[in-house]
């Protein structure tokens, strides 16, 4: 049955194939290139380390906070994401040797009259969830009298300052410098408060000593000169002019709506493919589960009814986002068993959509006149037979519109699963925009794709409904 997706997956650590998560927009360390492929110093570095230390590596860009949460939940093997080595992080994770110097700085919009931290009094400042720069901003917030607003990625945080909603943002110096060199209209106002370094994080106490391999790998790629080559590949000789030149190569050629659509077509279609797969498997599992629970809810048995009512109450009551995070990062941190993101997505959809399905299945059956059951029973039919032959055929007709509605909702709900790093249509849109800043055009494309699919799904369902009533 389709729900075999639920089977827990074995951990792969022993096979020397490791999964690392990274940030989604943190150029020059990790960012999507023109082909929407993730590149950057961190990406090249972890591959070079893997080669030197003879292990396989898969890197997935999910955003910094999501990456750290997945590591905490032991869903993945490590995080390489321009991650500052701090005492708190070293207490929680094994941090590798340092590889790149960094420090938090504040940036304001070009031409802004904010000249130093003192000018931030009473103003709104943008920070990024879970970062060292956000911790720094929070630590000086009372002293300088500013308030903070939080973003999940650096890009949106910068945009908030550029559009003037926030007057400043805090991020790491090398990343902000690169962003400015490549055209973001910001200006750094303060020197880095501290000098720290980036390191790679893994969980403590691993029996395979991954941290030793990473450290040995860093030493090897630094000694061989490969590391310098990687850095030069993205930063040129470090001057602003050379960064601009490097970046020019990654710029889009045609920024018109159709130019962008053509350029990002295959990436968008891959995202759509994942969305459709999630929807299809989600609908099948949710329908099976929902029908079973709905039937429990109409059985002449108080316990069965109680189970159904509780299920519907709990899973209809939880916001989908909370449920997704609970399944993906909450449960594994308790059980120690990894749940792949796709499976976590399907479990989430099955529970949530299944609860709604159960509710209308129960309601649909209850809506069939009670006399029907009484009549069937008085003819000597057992309860299950009466249900199957008399009640369900009438109940299902009542439920069909609700099923159609639920399929459409499931398709839309898959977009929420972007929080657990699933590369479905919405997450694909975010990643494209992170690179080209064409928010209006790309979100229009994404919205149109959803609408086209939903229209097709509605037509199909109406056709099925007509056939059933014929
Ligand atoms: N530099 C950030 C930190 O160390 C991580 C990031 O934003 N990718 O907290």
Query: Tell me: the pLDDT tens digits for 270-281?
Result: 999 999 999 999
Ligand 1 nearest atom to the CA of residue 102, by list position: 1
Q: Strands 147-151 and 124-128: what pairing?
A: parallel
Asked whether 131 lines ligand 1 (CB < 6 A), one says yes
Which CATH number applies to 257-469? Answer: 1.10.3720.10
Which CATH number applies to 104-194? Answer: 3.40.190.10
In the numeric block, which tokens belong to residue 54? Answer: 């003879």
Residue 315, CA distances (Å) to 182, 318, 319, 339, 470 in order: 46, 5, 8, 19, 35
State the angle between helix axes of 302-317 and 257-298 in degrees (0 to 180), rounded to the nearest 10.
160
DSSP states along 362-387: HHHHHTS-HHHHHHHHHTT--HHHHI
pLDDT score of 45: 98
pLDDT score of 12: 46
Domain layout of the chain by residue ranges? 15-99+201-247, 104-194, 257-469
pLDDT score of 1: 40
Residue 103, CA distances (Å) to 29, 133, 231 in order: 15, 8, 18
Q: How far apart are CA 22 and CA 178, in angstroms?
A: 18
Distance 64 CA to ligand 1 centre (A): 7
pLDDT score of 466: 84
Q: Give the other-Cβ count within 10 Å of 360's Cβ.
A: 20
| Eight-state DSSP code of residue 56 | E
Given 3-state DSSP classes, what are the helix, strand and coil percentages for the chain, each rounded to the nearest 5?
Answer: 65, 15, 25
| CATH C-level class of 15-99+201-247 | alpha beta
Asked whether 83 lines ligand 1 (CB < 6 A), one says yes
Ligand 1 nearest atom to the CA of residue 23, by list position: 8
Whether residue 254 contacts residue 260, with contact meaning beta carbons closer than 8 Å, is answered with yes
| Identical topology for domains 15-99+201-247 and 257-469 | no
Q: How far apart are CA 36 and CA 442, in angstroms?
A: 13
Closest by Cα among 290, 441, 282 to 346: 282
Asked whether 81 lines ligand 1 (CB < 6 A), one says yes
Asked whether 186 lines ligand 1 (CB < 6 A), one says no
Asked whether 282 lines ligand 1 (CB < 6 A), one says no
Ligand 1 nearest atom to the CA of residue 171, by list position: 1
pLDDT score of 443: 94
Closest by Cα among 201, 178, 229 to 45: 229
Asked whether 24 lines ligand 1 (CB < 6 A), one says no
In the numeric block, which tokens belong to residue 244? Answer: 């601009």
Asked whether 157 lines ligand 1 (CB < 6 A), one says no
Q: How far apart are CA 238 and CA 304, in angstroms?
A: 68
Q: Indicate which residue's Cα is closest to atom 9 of ligand 1.
A: 131
The whole-angstrom distance between residue 87's C-alpha and the CA centroid of its chain comes to 27
Asked whether 26 lines ligand 1 (CB < 6 A), one says yes
Which regions in the chain score pLDDT beneath 70? 1-15, 238-253
Mark 146-174 as b/e (b = at least 16 C-beta within 10 Å). Answer: beeeebbbbbbbbbbbeeeebbbbbbbbb
């Amino acid at each position: 049955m389709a729900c075999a997706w639920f089977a827990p997956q074995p951990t792969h650590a022993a096979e020397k194939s490791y999964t690392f998560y990274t940030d989604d927009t943190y150029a020059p360390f990790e960012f999507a290139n023109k082909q929407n492929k993730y590149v950057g110093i961190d990406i090249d570095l972890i591959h070079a380390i893997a080669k030197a230390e003879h292990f396989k590596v898969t890197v997935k860009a999910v955003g910094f906070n999501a990456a750290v949460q997945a590591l905490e939940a032991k869903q993945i093997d490590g995080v390489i994401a321009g991650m500052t080595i701090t005492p708190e992080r070293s207490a929680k994770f094994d941090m590798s040797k340092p590889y790149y110097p960094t420090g938090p700085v504040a940036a304001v919009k070009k031409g802004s009259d904010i000249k130093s931290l003192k000018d931030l009094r009473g103003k709104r400042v943008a920070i990024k969830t879970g970062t060292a720069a956000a911790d720094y901003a929070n630590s000086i917030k009372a002293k300088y009298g500013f308030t903070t607003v939080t973003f999940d990625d650096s890009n949106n945080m910068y945009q908030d300052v550029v559009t003037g909603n926030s007057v400043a943002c805090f991020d790491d110096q090398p990343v902000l410098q690169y962003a400015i060199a490549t055209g973001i209209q910001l200006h750094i106002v303060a020197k880095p408060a501290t000098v720290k370094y980036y390191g790679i994080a893994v969980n403590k106490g691993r029996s395979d000593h991954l941290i030793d391999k990473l450290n040995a790998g860093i030493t090897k790629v630094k000694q061989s000169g490969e590391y310098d080559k990687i850095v030069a590949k993205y930063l040129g000789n470090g001057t602003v002019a050379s960064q601009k030149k490097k970046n020019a190569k990654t710029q889009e050629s045609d920024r018109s709506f159709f130019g962008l659509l053509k350029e990002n077509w295959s990436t968008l279609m891959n995202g759509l493919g994942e969305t459709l797969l999630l929807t299809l498997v989600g609908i099948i599992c949710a329908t099976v589960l929902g029908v079973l629970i709905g039937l429990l809810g109409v059985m002449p048995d108080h316990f069965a009814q109680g189970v159904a009512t509780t299920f519907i109450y709990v899973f209809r009551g939880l916001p989908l986002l909370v449920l997704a995070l609970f399944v993906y990062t909450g449960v594994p941190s308790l059980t120690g068993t990894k749940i792949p993101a796709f499976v976590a997505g399907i479990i989430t959809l099955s529970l949530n959509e299944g609860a709604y399905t159960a509710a209308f299945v129960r309601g649909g059956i209850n809506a069939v006149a009670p006399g029907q059951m009484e009549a069937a029973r008085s003819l000597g039919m057992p309860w299950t037979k009466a249900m199957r032959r008399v009640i369900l055929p009438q109940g299902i007709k009542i439920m069909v519109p609700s099923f159609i509605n639920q399929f459409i909702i499931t398709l839309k709900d898959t977009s929420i699963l972007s929080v657990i790093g699933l590369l479905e249509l919405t997450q694909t849109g975010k990643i494209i925009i992170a690179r080209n800043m064409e928010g209006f055009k790309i979100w229009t494309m994404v919205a149109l794709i959803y609408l086209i699919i939903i229209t097709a799904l509605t037509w199909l369902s109406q056709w099925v409904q007509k056939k059933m009533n014929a």
